Amino acid sequence: MSAYCLATYRSFDEKADFHKKATGIAVGLTVGSWTELPEAQKAQMEKHLGKVIAVEVHEPGPGEPITTRYADITIAYPDVNFSRDIPALLVTVFGKLSMDGKIKLIDLKFSTDFLAGFPGPKFGMQGVRDLLGVHDRPLLMSIFKSVVGYELPALREQFYLQAAGGVDLIKDDEILFENPLTPLEKRIEICMEAAEQASRETGQMLLYAVNLTGPTSKLASQAKKAISAGANALLFNVLAYGFDVLHELSADPEITIPIMAHPAMAGATYPSPHYGISPSVLLGKLMRLAGADLVLFPSPYGSVVMPREENLAIKHVLLTNDLHADYSYQASADAHLKLAASFPVPSAGIHPGLVPLILRDFGQDVIVNAGGGIHGHPLGTIAGGRAFRQAIDATLQGIQLRDYAQTHPELQSAIDTWGIRE
């Protein structure tokens, strides 16, 4: 099966013959027609024909409405039919089909040959840890609060306060575009300067993910301009540009810093049970395939909520090697085709009292990411960063936050403000 990519759909229909529907997809999205072809032509077309791999029908249970009737359908698409890029794959497996009733793309698995076209994350989780020199704990990231309309000194101050609290990464606001007040190169210059100042005090490294924006054809040169100006990471609104743009940026040998994928616009595609693309595909497999070193997604803990099982599914596909259509391949030693893991960054609504929960779900392979939970700390932004680092230290040592807080006033103040969720 290694010459096929697999797509799994959840198809809702009150009365469809789902097996017939599956055959219709396998034929319709590949060779167009089959049973009516002359035998000679069948022999020639066979290698282009899609195959039905599985049809699992879920009839409504007692008391459930007929509208809940669905099937999970898996189709194998011969990879000879499409070129080695994400647009070709997506248009093949979900181009026309996305418009054909209640149907959601819930999984993709890639052939070894297709995967070979994708170098994957250049740094990945391990590479980001190496850059920071931190291997023994989850990382901590801080989000700029809105700095639209800010001038450089105010931006610098906010940056410094975040950095001085001991965060490992700071990301630009994703709605900060090229603008006359804080243009890319100036922003990098003053923020990296603030990072150095903080570093002298905290003794730790920091990555600043600067927002890469503007016309698509200029993004690579913008990225290189950012690197020349001293940037050590990039933030990118992948879904507003397309996965292929990320793929080309991440594969560019001159872009020598990690790329952080922002999920802006993702909510237009993943939340409906009936339409769109599941989070583990949209913010998981496709982001990693396209080469995101770090991937932000809505956490199940805070204000912008994604169900916990969907978060764990994203984590699974960012970290493990479960991308291959050829199952036997996964166990093979052919390591050069194993993509580096993308660092999971569950985001939104995070405060220090959630750290034990986050680490229970993600272990150490996670970046704890906060905005309001740092800037909104009653003792200020620096204390906000410290409270998170204390919560992480406590959790790693197996100490209850409440106990650790007795000797750590920043954590105590955070708990008094936001509580602890266990």
Which residues, 330 to 389, sit near its own copies by CB under 8 A? 348
Structure tokens at 96: 């026309």
Question: 225 an active-site residue?
Answer: no
By CB under 8 A, is residue 16 in contact with its own copies? no
CA 40-41-42 angle, to 5 degrees, is 90
* CA distance readout (Å), 224 to 236, 253, 255, 371: 14, 11, 6, 28
Catalytic residue among 20, 42, 47, 96: 96
Measured from the CB atom, the residue of 168 and 174 that comes closer to its own copies is 174
Q: Give yes or no for a contact between 166 and 374, defined as CB atoms under 8 angstroms apart.
A: no
Judged by CB under 8 A, does residue 178 bind its own copies?
yes
Site for its own copies (CB under 8 A): which residue of 298, 344, 346, 356? Answer: 298
- Give dist(CA 357, CA 247) in Å, integer: 33
Helix (H, G, I), strand (E, B) or coil at 188: helix
- 382-421 residues in contact with its own copies (CB under 8 A) are none
Q: What mask, x for binding its own copies by CB under 8 A, covers residues 19 to 38? A: ---------xxxxxx-----
- Scanning 55-63, 124-132, 143-151, 192-200 for contacts with its own copies by CB under 8 A, the matching segment is 143-151
Closest distance to its own copies from the beta carbon of 327 (Å): 26
Range in contact with its own copies (rule: CB under 8 A) among 9-17, 67-75, 82-90, 361-369: 82-90
Minimum CB distance to its own copies smaller for 231 or for 282: 282
Task: Please identify, among the stretches 188-196, 211-219, 350-358, 413-421, the one whose residues bind its own copies according to the rule CB under 8 A.
Answer: 211-219
Residues in the chain, overall count: 422
The C-alpha atoms of residue 139 and residue 293 are separated, in whole angstroms, by: 14
In the window 61-80, what residues touch its own copies (CB under 8 A)?
A: 80
CB 170 within 8 A of CB 209: yes
Nearer to its own copies by Cβ, of 121 and 302: the residue is: 302
Q: Which residues pair with 294 in a beta bridge?
A: 260, 343
Characterize 305-330 residue by residue with b for buried, 16 or more Cβ atoms within 10 angstroms of its Cβ, and e for exposed.
ebeeebbebbbebbbeeebbbbeebe
Q: How far is the C-alpha of 27 from the C-alpha of 49, rounded, in Å?
A: 6
Complex with its own copies: residue 166 or 298, whichever CB lies closer: 298
Which position among 149, 183, 307, 419 is part of the footprint of its own copies (CB under 8 A)? 149
> What are the backbone angles phi and psi of residue 125, rounded to the nearest 5°?
-60, -45
Residue 189's contacts (CB-CB under 8 Å, 6 or more residues apart) are 229, 230
CA atoms lying within 13 Å on the CB side of residue 403:
7
Residue 118 vs 343, nearer CB to its own copies? 118
**What 3-state class would DSSP assign to 280?**
helix
Closer residue to its own copies (CB): 105 or 192: 105
Shortest separation between residue 372's beta carbon and its own copies, angstroms: 10
Question: Contact with its own copies (CB under 8 A): which of 43, 66, 175, 399?
Answer: 175
Alpha carbon 118 to chain centroid distance? 16
Q: Considering the rule CB under 8 A, would residue 148 count as an interface residue with its own copies?
A: yes
Nearer to its own copies, 296 or 339 (CB): 296
Site string for its own copies, 257-276 (x = CB under 8 A): -----xxxxxxxx-xx-xxx
Nearest distance in Å: CB 404, its own copies: 31
* Min dist. Cβ of residue 390 to its own copies (A): 26
The binder of its own copies chosen from 127, 230, 242, 380 (CB under 8 A): 242
- Is there a contact between 50 and 27 (Cβ–Cβ < 8 Å)? yes
Q: What tokens does 19 get?
A: 């097996």
Residues acting as catalytic residues: 96
